[in-house]
Chains A and B, each alone.
Chain A
Amino acid sequence: MAEEMRFHLEMRKEDKIEDGLSSEEASYAAQRKFGNVGAIQEQIREQRGWTQLEQWGQDIGFVARSLARAPGFTLTALATLTVGIGVATVVFNLTAWILFRADPYPNPEQLYRIGYSDKQAPFIPVRTGLHFLAYQERTDVFSEFAAVSPEMANVVIEGQPSAVGVLRISIDCFRTLGIVPALGRSFLPEEFKAGANNVVIIDDLFWRTNFHADPQILGRKLLIDQQVCTVIGVLKLGQPFPPAFEGAVYRPLVMNVNPAEPFDLTLHIIGRLRRGVGPEAARAALAEIKLIGLPNWAVPYFAEQEVRLATPRELARPEAFWLMAIAGAFLYGIACLNTINLILVRQLGRAREITIRLAVGATRGRIVRLLAIESVALSLVVMGILAFAARWLFPPLFAAITGSEGVRYLSYWNWDILGAAGVLTGLACLSAVLVPLARLLGTDVSPNLKEGGAGAGESRRAGQVRSVLVILQAALAVVLLTGTGLMVRSFGKLQKVNLGFDPIGKVKAQIAFPKSYTLSSEARLQLFERLQQRLEQLPGVKAVSFGEDTLLEGGFWGTAQVQMPNGEFMPVAGNVVSADFLAASGLTLLKGRWLSPQRGAIEVVINESLAKARFGEHDPIGGSIKLLVSGDKVYSVVGVVKDVKETVRTIAPGMRFYAPSWFYPPNINTMFLKLESNPDLAFGGLVRRVIYDFDPRLIVTDVSAIDEMVGRSMWAERYAFRIMKGLTAIALGLVIVGLFSIVAYTVASRRREFGVRMALGATPADLRRLVLAKGLLSAAVGIVIGTAVAMGLTRFMQSLLFETNPYDPLVFASVGVVLLASAAIACLLPAHRASRIDPVVTLRAD
C-alpha cells in the first residue's frame, strides 16, 4: 500500500516538474495534493476491519516481547505451572481411576460377588464347585455367572519355566464381565469339555513381556503343566477385571465335581441378578440351598458358613490413594498461588507503566486483554509441554515411580489426561487473570503516579495481598510436609520392626503339586529330602530345610487345638518342619534343644507365647502338650524358640509349635534357603530352573527373599511414601521459588526506601535483618495456619501410620524448622542485595 502511494507521489512530482517546478517544490506540492499518506492508509485499514486484528497482533507481539524481556518471570511461571499441573493431573488421574471409576462391566449394578461369612471373617469371596453347580441348577435369581478357579501353573516359554497365574473360567465368565479378546477369539462352548480345553487366551501384559507383542501369536503352543495348549486370543491392554478375576493366562474350566471331595474345586463367583431381583432376596434364595451327598466330616464345616453377597469392587487400602489425591490438590494449589503471585508482582512492577497507558488513553479493556493474552500464552505453552510429556515422558516415569512394568505399556496420551490437564490449566489461567484483574479494575490513575513520586516504600495494600498469598502457600506446604513427615516416621518404624528372626539372606520357595500328581506321604517326604540335597549344592547356599510355609506366611492360622491348663483347647499354629529349619530360618533357640533329625517319639519345639500360656512360670522342657485331634496322645516339649511375627504388622505373635516333618508330610510345601547375603535378582530363576530339572511336574509358585517380602508387605506405605516424598519436595521447591521472587521484588521496589534508611544511619545489617524478618514472619504465620490445618487432617492418615502418633510433636516441630529454613534460604539473596544498596546511587537516581 505504501509503495503504491509512493509511486503515485513520484508520478505527480514528475508531472509538476514538467510544469516547471523545482524538484523540491514539486515534491511538496505532490504531498500537499495527496494529503496525509498515513491517515489514508489508516482509513483503508479501518474500512477493511483490520484495526481489531492489528490491535490483537500488536498485543500478542507486545506480550511475546515483554515475556521474552522478563525471562526470569516467564521461566519461573512456566516451570511452576508445568510441574504443578503435570503432577496434579497425573495424581488425580491415578487416584480417580482407582477411587471413582465406575465398574466397566455391562450393567455393573446387577453384579454381585458370592461368598460366605464364618466366625473368622465377615466375607470370604470363595465357594466350592458344588455350590456353583447348585446355584446354577437349583436357583433362578441370577441370570448368568462368572466363575473362575485361579491356580499357579508351570508355563514353559523358550525352555524357561515360570510360575504363572492361570485362571480357569466358566462358560459365561467373559460374557458376564463384557470381555472380548482384542486379538483372536473367545472360547467356544465345546471347549469347556475335558480333552478339548487345551486352548488359552493370554492377557496383554503377558503377551508383551513374553512374546514381545508378536502379532503372529495366535496358534502358538505353550507348555502349561506338561500340557500343550494353543493360544487362541489376546485380551485388550488395561482390560479391567474385578479383583481375583485377573490373570495372565485363561483356560476353559471343566466342571468336574465330586460331592465326596467338596474342596477339590473352589471358585470365585460373580453372579448377575435377574431383573427385578434384589440382593437380599437373592441371598435368601442361595441360603436355602443344601448341598447333597456331602461326606459327614464336611457337613458341620459348611453348616457354620453363611452365604453373603458383596459388590465386585473391593479396594485395597483406599486411604493411601485419598492421601495422594489430597497431596496432589495441595500441590496444585501451591502452583496456582505461586503463579498468581508472580503475575501480581509483575503487574505491580508495571503499575506505573499501566497507569501511564491508562492516562494516555488506553482503554481498560485493552489492558485486560494484555493480561488475558499473557496468561493464555503461558497456558498454551504449558499445555504443549504437558502434551509432549504425556506422550513421551509419563510412561517411563510412572513405571519408575510405581515400580510396575505393566504401567509402561499404558498410554497417557489420551483425552482423560489431556482433558484433566486442560481443565487444570484453564483454572490456573483463570485464577491468574482474575486476581490481578480485580486489582487492576481498582487502579486509579492519579494515586499510582503520585505514589511513584512521593512515597519511597511499597504501597501498603499491594504488600498485604502478596503477604496473604505467601502465607497461604506456606500453610499448604506445611500440611504436605507434615503428612510426609509422619510417613517418614512410620516408615522408619516399619523398617526397624523386629520380626523375631533375621530376614537377611533368607529365601523361601513355595512348591505346589498339580492335581494330577499324587504322592504317598512317604514319597513326598523323600522327594523333599532329595530336593534339599540338590539345593544345598547351589553356590552361596549355607543351609536348606523344608516344611510348612511359616516365615512371614501372612497371618495367624490356628491349625491345631492345644489344651491349656484350665482344660480348654485353644487354637495354635502347628508347623511341620525338617531338622535343619533352625539353621535355615535363623530362629533363636531360647531353651532346650531343637528337633532331632532321627525319627522316634514325636517331640515338639514351642514358641515363647505358647510356653507362657501353657506352662506359665514352670519350665516347659520335659513337659508335654496335648492336641484335640490326637486323643490321649501327648507330645513332649524339647525346646522353646523366640516368637516370630506372622506379618510385618503383627503386634503380638500367636502361639505356635514346630513338629518334625515326618509327623505329617502332606503339609510340606516350602523350601527354606539360607544364603550368605540377600540374593540377587537371578537367584529366583536359578532355583526355579533347578527344581524344574529335578522334577518338571513341580510348580514353583513363588521364590521370595524374606527381606523383600518385608518390603513388599509395606507396598501401600511405600507407594504413598514415595509419591508423598516427591510431591512434598516439589511443593517445597515451589514455595521457595515463590517466596524468593516475592521477597526479591519487594527489595527491588523498596530500593529508595532502603537508600533513605541508609542515608539516615541504618547499617547494612539492619536492612538485612529487616528483609529476613519480613520473609520469616510470613512463613511463621503460614506455619501456624498450616499446623492447625494439618492437625485436623493427619488423623485421617492414621490407618497408614504404623505405631506413629498422627500428632507426633517431633514431626510437627521439624516441619516448622524445615519451612523456616526454606524461607530463610529464599530471603537470603534478596536480603544481601538490600544490604548492598548504595544510598548515594539510589537517591541520585531520582
Chain B
Amino acid sequence: MAQKSALVQGTLDMLVLRVLSRSELHGWGITQKLEQLSKSALRVDEGSLYPSLYRMEDKGWIEAEWKMTEKGRRAKFYSLTRIGRKQLESEIEGWDRMTAIIASVMSST
C-alpha cells in the first residue's frame, strides 16, 4: 500500500463537491469514495470532513436528506445544489490555474 498523503490545505471542500457531483452520498460514503478515487492514496480525516460538510451545507452548496442506505440503514445523504455546482466549477478553474502556476514555478528551476 502506498504511503497515504494528507490533503493539500483548502482542497477538501473541492474534493467533496467533486465526489458529490457524481452522486449523492453519506459522510461514510464520501470518505470511501475519496479513498477509492485516489486509489487509497488520500487519507480523509473525519475531524475535517464533518465540519466541512456542515459548513458547505450552511453556505447552501450542498443539501442533506435522511434516507435509507442499500443495506436498509438510516443515513444522511448529501447532494450538490446549483450554487454548489457553480462553486465546484470555479474551484476547479481556480485549482487548474493554481496547479499550472505551481507547475511552471517548479519546472523553471
Contacts and interface: CB of A to CB of B under 8 A. Distances in A.
Do A and B share a complex?
yes
Interface of A: 1, 3-5, 7-8, 10-12, 33-36, 39-40, 43-44, 47-48
Contacts of A40: 46-47, 50-51
A199 B14 CA distance: 86
B47 A43 contact: yes
12 contacts: A1-B54, A4-B76, A5-B27, A7-B26, A7-B73, A7-B74, A33-B46, A34-B46, A40-B50, A44-B51, A44-B54, A47-B55
B75 interface: yes
For B27, B50, B58, B73, the residue with the greatest tally of chain A CB atoms inside 10 Å of its CB is B50
A47 B55 CA distance: 8
A779 B73 CA distance: 72
B46 A8 contact: yes
A47 B74 contact: no
A33 B49 CA distance: 13
A8 B51 contact: no
A44 B50 contact: yes
Contacts of A47: 51, 54-55
B88 to A, nearest CB: 21
A39 B47 CA distance: 9
Given A44-B50, A47-B54, 17 more contacts: A3-B74, A3-B76, A5-B27, A7-B73, A7-B74, A8-B27, A8-B31, A8-B46, A12-B28, A34-B46, A34-B47, A35-B46, A39-B47, A40-B46, A40-B50, A47-B55, A48-B54
A4 B46 contact: no
Closest CB pairs A-B (n = 10) = A11-B28, A4-B76, A8-B28, A34-B46, A44-B54, A35-B47, A44-B51, A7-B75, A8-B27, A40-B47
Given A40-B46, A48-B58, A7 B51 contact: no
Contacts of A3: 74, 76
A12 B29 CA distance: 10
Contact of A7 (B28, B31, B45, B47): B28
Contacts of B58: 48
B61 to A, nearest CB: 15
Interface residues of B, number: 16
Given A7-B28, A7-B74, A8-B27, A43 B46 contact: no
Nearest to A11: B28
Contacts of A5: 27, 46, 50
Nearest to A4: B76
A43 B75 CA distance: 21
For A8, A36, A39, A43, the residue with the greatest tally of chain B CB atoms inside 10 Å of its CB is A8
A277 to B, nearest CB: 72
B54 to A, nearest CB: 5
A611 to B, nearest CB: 103
Interface string B22-66: 000011100100000000000001110011001100100000000
Contacts of B75: 4, 7
A33 B43 CA distance: 11
A47 B27 CA distance: 18
Nearest to B55: A47
A353 B45 CA distance: 41
A732 to B, nearest CB: 59
Contacts of B46: 5, 8, 33-35, 40
Nearest to A30: B46
A8 to B, nearest CB: 5
Nearest to A37: B46
Nearest to B58: A48
A39 B46 CA distance: 11
Contacts of B47: 34-36, 39-40, 43
Contacts of B26: 4, 7-8
A3 B75 CA distance: 8
Nearest to B73: A7
A47 B57 CA distance: 12
A130 B81 CA distance: 90
A798 to B, nearest CB: 73
Contacts of A34: 46-47
Contacts of B27: 4-5, 7-8
Contacts of B50: 1, 4-5, 40, 44
B60 to A, nearest CB: 14
A797 to B, nearest CB: 68
B10 to A, nearest CB: 15
B17 to A, nearest CB: 18
A36 B50 CA distance: 12
Contacts of B28: 7-8, 11-12
